[in-house]
Structure 1
Amino acid sequence: MPADLVGPRPAAHDGDDKITAQDLGYTYTTRAGAQVPALDGVDFTVRAGEFISVVGPSGCGKSTLLRVIAGLQDPTSGSVAIRREHPGRPLTAPVFQEYSVFPWRTVEANVRLGLDAVGTSKAEAAPRVTEWIRRVGLEGFEKSYPSGLSGGMKQRVALARAFITEPEILLMDEPFAALDAQRRKIMQEQLLEIVKGKSNTVFFVTHNLDEAILLSDRIILMTSRPGRIKRVYDVPFPRPRSPELRADARFAVLEDEIWRDLRSEVEMEPHTALAPAATAAVGTARRASR
């Protein structure tokens, strides 16, 4: 494998390609020994510095895809590869839906975790920790423990912990799904502010179409299980962005277009037994975005 590629197997890259998946497949084996295909024939590229969102029906393999990119699961077929550009920086940092903060560590200790892991001294880490706590709006809570924080605050801790190490790729799996609608909008706005002017590539899994359009440069729509790429949408809005973008008529047109394509997937029978649940989940997310 070439030295600048990291992944289960090497894949060809153009100059600006950061992530390349070729004929990617993943099959689970149940305890009973049954083979359940989650991904099949997935091909896509992500350019360096892009914010890519992945949407699709429940159970279509979105989270599996993110975990394969993160190296947490090996594909059962095909390849995924990442072009490393900055050997001194972490390649990836994940943020999951669950509040993955350590209850025995304070806010500042949780945020500093990635720096501790690479041997950064506390003196060197301190100003960076202070800056990221400020950027996610948690000043005054530096010495607080997670038990005293709200869900949104815990997720902001997780975001600061991921960003502080300056990873080349941020992998986000439904990071705001457990929040109420108001807090979710606030977190979306904070993420817009955090990524402004940054060079991170972001791979973002979500059920919320409003969220995907607001945040992304492109949106990947996946089919029902086994997940394949059905369509990729370009989001026609320049950066930097603000929440007022939702009032643009083109925003609603794109949301309706994606919803029509997505709805045809989740209602397809007998493609997946999850279709009714997926329809309800996606419909709720779409209504919440209005």
Structure 2
Amino acid sequence: MSVTLTPKIRVESLSYSYRRRGSEDVQALDELNLTVGKGEFVSVVGPSGCGKSTLLRVLAGLQRPTGGSAGVLREDGARPLMAPVFQEYSIFPWRTVEDNVRLGLDAAKVPRAESNARVREWISRVGLTGFEKAYPSHLSGGMKQRVALARAFVLEPEVLLMDEPFAALDAQLRKVLQEELLGICQERDYTVFFVTHNLDEAILLSDRIALMTARPGRVEEVYDVPFGHPRTPDLRKSPEFVALEEQIWDRLRGEVQGGRK
């Protein structure tokens, strides 16, 4: 991905610390710098506890940084700026599938005719046709995550913030949803900031991969993913894919081992 893209997300000298009862403050992020271009899919990987999710929550405006800055450039006042998708399904148990998907559209006061059409489209796109009136208690974990994805996509945001959205799913369903996300992002002009522990997933989906250090988290290195679009899951079988995965893991292994000392 060309570095000449218009910056969409810019993180500069970002620091974040939090208080732990009875102990000193914990420095989660320190002097972290990262730029994501418009239309770029960037994944963030790193050892557990390095601050990946904290970084995403700062970008989402859910946590305030201790120092530095993190900003997302708004370009289209008619579109929502961001839509988050978390590992926890975060759907309301008292709302049906279609009402959960419609939630953001109602908040934005989208006319009902347009809202209905968009909800139907995205329920179909994520494979939940026939479950529109179902409640979350009647859905599997994978179906609940499809609802969460549809709720984000239906907003047509400028930026998708995704925090390990497939981590709780079994391996087979994870691959299915990876393929669906890959297809959707190849069709639509989204900027995606994606947190994952899975290098295979990061390489398949991303234009670039940012590797974070053990806590306090910083961006240690950014890897270009040298595969064009459209992509298919068969890419995993290529020698180039395997070589890049091994290259990143060699660096990540050191951070994982260092973080355990």
Distance 1:15 1:128 in 2: 30
> Aligned residue for 1:260?
250
Is 2:49 aligned against 1:59?
yes
CA shift digits 1:88-146 (9 cap, x unpaired): 11111100000111111111111111100011232221111100011101111111111
CA shift digits 1:29-51 (9 cap, x unpaired): 11225210000010110000000
> Aligned residue for 1:234?
224
Shift of 1:15: 6.8
* Highest RCO, 1 vs 2 (Cα 8 Å, sep ≥ 6): 2
Q: Which of 32, 57, 65 pairs up with 1:75?
A: 65
Q: Alpha carbon RMSD of aligned pairs, Å?
A: 1.2
Distance 1:194 1:265 in 2: 33
1:61-140 map, 5 Å: 61-140=51-130
Q: Which amino acid aligns with 1:207?
A: H
> Aligned residue for 1:4?
none
CA shift digits 1:207-249 (9 cap, x unpaired): 0000000000000000000001111000001111111110111
Q: Which of 126, 140, 148 pairs up with 2:138?
A: 148
Is 2:183 aligned against 1:193?
yes
Structure 1, unaligned runs of 5 or more: 1-13, 277-290
Distance 1:252 1:15 in 2: 27
CA shift digits 1:239-273 (9 cap, x unpaired): 111111101110000000000000011112xxx4x
Shift of 1:171: 0.3
Q: Which of 183, 187, 192 pairs up with 2:173?
A: 183
> Aligned residue for 2:239?
249
Runs of 4+ in 1 over 4 A off after TM superposition: none
Q: Which amino acid aligns with 2:121?
A: E
* TM-score, normalised via structure 2 length: 0.96
Percent of matched pairs sharing the same residue:
66
Distance 1:170 1:39 in 2: 22
Distance 1:221 1:189 in 2: 23
Q: Which amino acid aligns with 1:163?
A: F
Q: Which amino acid aligns with 2:201?
A: E
Secondary structure of the residue that 2:49 maps to in structure 1?
coil
Contact 2:5 2:38 (C-alpha < 8 Å) held by counterparts = no
Q: Which of 188, 208, 215 pairs up with 2:198?
A: 208
> Aligned residue for 2:158?
168
Q: Which of 22, 34, 58 pairs up with 1:44?
A: 34
Contact 2:98 2:132 (C-alpha < 8 Å) held by counterparts = yes
Q: Which amino acid aligns with 1:258?
A: I
Distance 1:90 1:32 in 2: 41
CA shift digits 1:160-218 (9 cap, x unpaired): 10011111110000100000111111110111111122111000000000000000000
How many residues align? The count is 258
